[in-house]
Structure 1
Amino acid sequence: MTSSELYQMFDSEQFRSSGHALIDLLAAQLTHELSGKAELIHWQPPVEAAQSWQQPMPEVAELSHSDFITWLQEEILPRNLAMHHPHSMAHQAAPPLPMAALCDLVAALCNQAMALYETGPAATLLEHQAIHWLTTAVGWSHGTGVLTSGGSQANLTALLAARQHAAANIWQEGVTAAPPLRILASELAHYSVKRTAAIMGLGADALISIATDQQGRISLEALKEAHTACQHRHEPVMAIVATAGCTATGSIDPLQAIGQYCQAHGVWLHIDGAHGAAAVLSNQHADKLQGIHLADSVSWDGHKLLYMPATVSAVLFRNTADSYLSFAQEASYLFNDEHGEETDFNLSYRTLECTKRMMALKIVAAFKLYGRKGMASLLDHVFALAEQFAVMLSSTPGFELLMHPQTNIVCFRYHGNVSNTAVLDSLQVHIRQQLLHRGLFHLSQVEINNSIWLRSVFMNPQTQPAHQQHLLQEIIAIARARA
């Protein structure tokens, strides 16, 4: 290519005109989805859908800039799940704040690597600001942490610190240098906790699952018994993991009691607050997380109830020194701060990632644009939606509620006149598939106590009780048609 052609690839005027066209397209799509008039999902089995994507890599340009916008409009957007649609109720992924999405555009073009302060000065300071706000909200005066690409990485980072805290030589000498370490967590804990145990070389069996009560909360008595049993076997418990909003049911473990127990026995407490930690911002719901300040570490996903575009998560530490335990490694080609003055600003000391996205911009911007009260109002609304839906289910014949919602997640099932367990489970699967394949509603399903339940996660502030009532009507119709 000629120099002129290379320059055209970075032409600012072309970026401007294409950007305007793209924003117009996305704004129209956003309006269409929020109104509920957009198609929720155009379902195709993945093997069938993949056929139309089997194309050779282009040797030369095959799209003009205007063709590119048309391609997005005709080929990409219609094949997406409409995240801002009020019938999207399946998972904890947020319909992101549009202004936060614009921040991701800024982050992408500026492309700050953030391994060191010098490779992302403003990005680093923004992250410090965001982390300070989040740790203060948790209840810590001198907490710290870093942003990560997802809650699984946040949990891994926290539990690596817990492992190092329990066995100081393990980073250098390996797991054989320590006695068999154990992690205690709820039977409803996120799969990333068991995966972390395996990644760390402890083995997946190092995670000991603790029974829960009828509300999906970890049993304190069962936790104590498991801890005592580990002590008798000379198996140190490197961490107890409590959950603030478990993925399956949204249940919140008794954080205060667990925190007091951990402090009394000198055990690291990690709270997986990926979903529910945002409740600390709410005047209405902060008391549900009473005791979260007793944790040694907390994970918190911004792309859930902070309504950020995926992915941005925080791993927070109560003590600054603990935040350096996860990665005890030297790399002179990066870290050459002889006097230690910049240590806290070189984020690669404390994160798995070297090149790291400018994630904090969207968090800081959202709080500046809407304030704590505005951000909390999003959570308050969807928690209220879950309460309303639970009441609706309880008063509608044929439906069964698994438990009263503690967050914005509601698990339920339709039984009609069915009593056979296997048939009842099969019915739930059929209902969910029909709702999805016909593009009516997007729900998920979960297995609790060997039974299949439908799972609705209310993330969209545009969802209203009328949509919930419509959902119940469609479920009844699908079930009757199958009978």
Structure 2
Amino acid sequence: MSQQAEWLRQMFDMEDFRHTGHALIDLLANQLTNDIKGQSNILNWQEPQIADQLWQQPLPEVSNLDSKGLLQWLQHTVIPRNLAVHHPHNFGHQIATPLPLTALCDLVAALTNQAMAIYETGPSATLIERQVIRWLNTAVGWNAGDGVLTSGGAQANLTALLAARQHAADVWQQGLQNARPMRILASKFSHYSVSRAAGIMGLGTDAVIAIEVDANGRMLPDALQAAHEQCIATNQIVMAVVATAGCTPTGSLDPLQAIGEYCQSHSVWLHVDGAHGASALLSNQHKALLKGIELADSLVWDGHKLLYMPATVSAVLFRDKDASYSAFAQDASYLFQGNDAEAESFNISYRTLECTKRMMGLKLWAAFSLYGRQGLAQLIDHAFAQAKKMASKILANPQLELLMLPDTNIICFRYQDLTLSPEHGNRLQSRIRQHIVASGSFHFTQVEINGVIWLRCTLMNPFTSEVDMDELIAMVRHTATSLSETSTSQ
């Protein structure tokens, strides 16, 4: 056997793959069990500058690891340095604790490697995605809607806003030089990807006009109207209004009914960034919170948040099927023949930024098929209920201040020390968080709103109990006291 043939045999050794795969599943299952039980730290913190030095090594010229060594490296080096998202002390970002069986679907997607640029490079992947998109549209209330899956909500927001721009003015081929100035009216709490999309599209980030919110973080319709009228008076095109269903800072839900009715009466494209909160559409208990979402022209919905999918899978949905084709235009004879319009509609690359596109729909299809709408709704209902429980605990504690009652599953609060200046009060919140996260006890975040820093918790983990909430609150109080005493003694 030649050396090349031996290399190929080793690289594609099915028995090695089978044996290593079984061992890897056992390893991950054991780790998942430990994480859910909270048997170790949620995070083994190292300063990134220090940690990076430990990982640096020269590019291997020849093999220096076998499959057994790979498993050991994963077990002892990679996994222990991960953030344990299934740990009950995970109060951090809007990152799902993935449903384990859906992670297996990602393995299928990785190995079968369906590129999905066109139908023939991913037949089943294409048909699965189309079915998932139909299910999501049905949940919104759009019987004639369409859309695609993308690699994350930022890309989905960009895709929707590209369609909105083309709806406002035909600029794809000749650019913006002959178009009137375009503006995007977006909630003050809109995700940064909206501003980034404006920059990418050549509008400039200043094209995004921030609309004020009320004390509960919800866009003010009167402020929206005033901004719209100002744009009209200055001969600017409002290419889109961006409302938020579950904003990132506070989880707040904009008044979608009022915003939708205003946009329809003034023929303005309404885009709803529902990356986080759109999943409430599946819940009989909470879908009324999203009343009016069906009035949108486009909608973003993340699966890797409250649908509990492995990252990443986002849907960008369009109420009008034809609008889903307006974001992009392309001429590539090596992909698109254009002879049969109906057949060409199965080529997803017409409507996505990506050409090579991962088989993302399989895990969503599996989750809906395994657990049904009602099963997934239970996860959402539980997360929202957990946030209400934690809010009540904070309200009952005189040393803590709650920013607002939660619309969804995000809580913002802070430790109150009335002896501190605003600047030192902010610094205390940051130090509390840094100290606790570095200890590996809990993971949570912080957010600055109107110059005030708040501790921010996202109740995503179905294994988080009231005991865990009580422990975090107690640790925040204890840490604040300890830091204050240390500062005083110095």
Range of TM-score over shorter length: over 0.9
Native 8 Å contact 1:183 1:240 kept in 2: yes
Native 8 Å contact 1:154 1:299 kept in 2: yes
Q: Which residue of 1 aligns with 2:255?
A: 254
Q: Which residue of 1 aligns with 2:488?
A: none
Please, which of 138, 147, 153 is the counterpart of residue 136 of structure 1? 138
Paired residue secondary structure (1:176):
coil
Q: Which residue of 1 aligns with 2:70?
A: 68
Native 8 Å contact 2:182 2:237 kept in 1: yes
Paired residue secondary structure (1:342):
helix
Please, which of 39, 42, 45 is the counterpart of residue 40 of structure 1? 42
Paired residue secondary structure (1:386):
helix
Please, which of 18, 21, 39 is the counterpart of residue 16 of structure 1? 18
* Stretch moving more, 99-108 or 5-14: 5-14
Q: Distance in 1 between matches of 2:4 and 2:165?
A: 55
Native 8 Å contact 1:259 1:295 kept in 2: yes
Offset, 1:424? 1.0
1:239 maps to a residue whose letter is A
* Stretch moving more, 340-349 or 111-120: 340-349
Q: Distance in 2 between matches of 1:13 and 1:347?
A: 35
Deviations 1:4-37 (Å, cap 9, x if unpaired)?
3212211111110000000000000000000011
Q: Which residue of 1 aligns with 2:214?
A: 213
**1:304 and 2:305 aligned:** yes
Give ranges in structure 1 of 5+ residues lacking alignment.
none
Offset, 1:419? 4.4
Q: Which residue of 1 aligns with 2:113?
A: 111
**1:352 and 2:348 aligned:** no
Deviations 1:73-115 (Å, cap 9, x if unpaired)?
0110011111100111110011111011000000000000000
Q: Distance in 1 between matches of 2:33 and 2:327?
A: 44
Paired residue secondary structure (2:242):
strand
Q: Which residue of 2 aligns with 1:240?
A: 241
Offset, 1:417? 4.2
2:439 maps to a residue whose letter is R
**1:480 and 2:481 aligned:** yes
Q: Distance in 2 between matches of 1:94 and 1:464?
A: 17
Paired residue secondary structure (2:142):
coil
Native 8 Å contact 1:147 1:314 kept in 2: yes
**1:448 and 2:449 aligned:** yes
Q: Distance in 2 between matches of 1:266 and 1:337?
A: 32
Give ranges in structure 2 of 5+ residues lacking alignment.
485-490
Q: Distance in 1 between matches of 2:40 and 2:97?
A: 14
Q: Which residue of 2 aligns with 1:5?
A: 7
2:75 maps to a residue whose letter is Q
Q: Which residue of 2 aligns with 1:284?
A: 285
1:267 maps to a residue whose letter is V
Q: Which residue of 2 aligns with 1:426?
A: 427
Q: Distance in 1 between matches of 2:424 and 2:200?
A: 38
Paired residue secondary structure (1:400):
strand
Q: Distance in 2 between matches of 1:2 and 1:153?
A: 41
Q: Which residue of 2 aligns with 1:159?
A: 161
Q: Distance in 2 between matches of 1:355 and 1:199?
A: 21
Native 8 Å contact 2:36 2:86 kept in 1: yes
Offset, 1:423? 1.6
* Stretch moving more, 173-182 or 330-339: 330-339
Deviations 1:340-365 (Å, cap 9, x if unpaired)?
12122100000000000000000000
* Cα root mean square deviation, aligned: 0.8
Q: Aligned residues, how many?
A: 482
Q: Distance in 2 between matches of 1:298 and 1:126?
A: 20
1:57 maps to a residue whose letter is L
Offset, 1:177? 2.1
Offset, 1:418? 3.5
Native 8 Å contact 2:417 2:425 kept in 1: no
Native 8 Å contact 2:99 2:308 kept in 1: yes
Paired residue secondary structure (1:279):
helix
Offset, 1:219? 0.6
Native 8 Å contact 1:398 1:417 kept in 2: no
Q: Distance in 2 between matches of 1:452 and 1:404?
A: 17
Native 8 Å contact 1:399 1:416 kept in 2: no
Q: Distance in 1 between matches of 2:154 and 2:417?
A: 38
Native 8 Å contact 1:386 1:409 kept in 2: yes
Q: TM-score, normalised by structure 1?
A: 0.99
